[in-house]
Amino acid sequence: MRSGKSVLVSGGAHGIGRAAAIAFARDGHRVAVADVDEHAGTALSEHGRSLAGEIIFVRADVSRADQASDAVHKTVAAFGGLDILFNNAGIQPADSYRTVEHLDEAVWDRIMDVNVKSCFLLCKHAVPEMIKRGGGVIINNASAQGLQSQKLVPAYAASKGAVLSLTRNLALDYAEHNIRVVAICPGSVDTPMLRATAAMALPQNPDQALAEWGRKHPLGRIGRPEEIAEVVLFLASERASFITGEYVCVDGGLMARGAWAE
């Protein structure tokens, strides 16, 4: 990857997004982090001062059209353009662990808005800016649950399957503009979202829940956000210049084994 690229990371104040923002800035790139958590986002931008590149924070709920547009335009205004978009924002709220007949419609809508609609909205405004630059890269954070599923996550699983399908379509629509579109499918990763799920699953010992989930992965552990970030950097780089319309599992071997295998 050439130095000084302009990057926008949605949901970048925590977890995988935060690790990716730091990794991009560490390598000398200029990064805008869009998130609703102003405190964490501001702290991250301050941390960026110690890195080779730059991190700025843009407060935005990227599931809303006006704020997604604003996040892209503020990135372009700050850095002179946009080269890389990491659609990372995603939620899996506690009240979404339901079968469909017990799942509230508002919860379904909110998951779809954050996990899928935000990708559409950010791409809608990012693509024209990338075309102006002669190309770019869009990386969508899907999930192993977009490929296989588990019980009680109908909205989340559906949203991640949609992200994978959108990735393929965007790759075809914009290949002629030298815009590559790829997705990542993480397994269980040590993020605040996963820890919140662990605290719900086993309140008396969340770490035990994380360890049990880790043992389901052939590598015997859950992933670290930094490990996912390294794959994001690779996919955004010229080293991945012939990859588009594809997904990469970063899942400790989970999909290789298959959810049905013991």
210-221 pLDDT tens trace: 999 999 999 999
Our measurement of the distance from residue 201's CA atom to the centroid of its chain's CA atoms, rounded to an integer in Å, reads 24
Q: Are residues 140 and 202 in the same domain?
A: no
Q: Are residues 140 and 163 in the same domain?
A: yes
Question: Above pLDDT 70, what percent of the chain?
Answer: 97
Q: Which of 97, 156, 174, 247 is catalytic?
A: 156
Q: Are residues 102 and 27 in the same domain?
A: yes
Asked, for residue 178, whether it belongs to a domain, the answer is yes
Q: How confident is the model at residue 3 (pLDDT cuts 50, 70, 90)?
A: low
Asked, for residue 135, whether it belongs to a domain, the answer is yes
Q: Are residues 83 and 34 in the same domain?
A: yes
* CA–CA dist 176, 82 (Å, integer): 18
Hey, what are 182's tokens?
Answer: 């790829």
pLDDT at position 1 over 80: no
Asked, for residue 261, whether it belongs to a domain, the answer is no
Asked, for residue 257, whether it belongs to a domain, the answer is no
Around 106, how many Cα atoms within 13 Å sit in the side-chain half-sphere? 1
Kindly report the CATH number assigned to the domain that includes residue 234. Answer: 3.40.50.720
User: What's the total number of domains in the chain?
Assistant: 2
Q: What is the pLDDT of residue 2?
A: 41
* CA–CA dist 150, 99 (Å, integer): 11
Asked, for residue 44, whether it belongs to a domain, the answer is yes
Q: Are residues 182 and 112 in the same domain?
A: yes
Tell me the pLDDT tens digit for each residue of 98-120.
999 999 999 999 999 999 999 99
Asked, for residue 37, whether it belongs to a domain, the answer is yes
Catalytic (active site) residue 97? no
For residue 80, give the amino acid letter.
Answer: G
CB 225 within 8 A of CB 15: yes
Hey, what are 96's tokens?
Answer: 């979404």
Strands 54-59 and 84-87: unpaired
**How long a stretch of residues is the chain?**
262
Asked, for residue 262, whether it belongs to a domain, the answer is no
Q: Are residues 25 and 96 in the same domain?
A: yes
CB 55 within 8 A of CB 44: yes
Count the Cβ atoms, other than its own, within 10 Å of residue 213.
17
Q: Are residues 44 and 117 in the same domain?
A: yes
Asked, for residue 207, whether it belongs to a domain, the answer is yes
Q: What is the pLDDT of residue 262?
A: 53
Q: Are residues 85 and 199 in the same domain?
A: no
Q: Are residues 90 and 181 in the same domain?
A: yes
* Residue carrying structure tokens 């075809």: 172
pLDDT at position 14 over 80: yes
Domain boundaries, position 197: 190-222
Q: Are residues 153 and 179 in the same domain?
A: yes
Average pLDDT over residues 163-180: 98
Count the Cβ atoms, other than its own, within 10 Å of residue 251.
24
Q: Are residues 151 and 218 in the same domain?
A: no
The pTM for the full model equals: 0.97
Q: Are residues 120 and 102 in the same domain?
A: yes
Indicate the Cα dihedral angle 133, 135, 140, 146, nearest 10°. Answer: 160
Query: Average model confidence (pLDDT) for the chain?
Result: 96
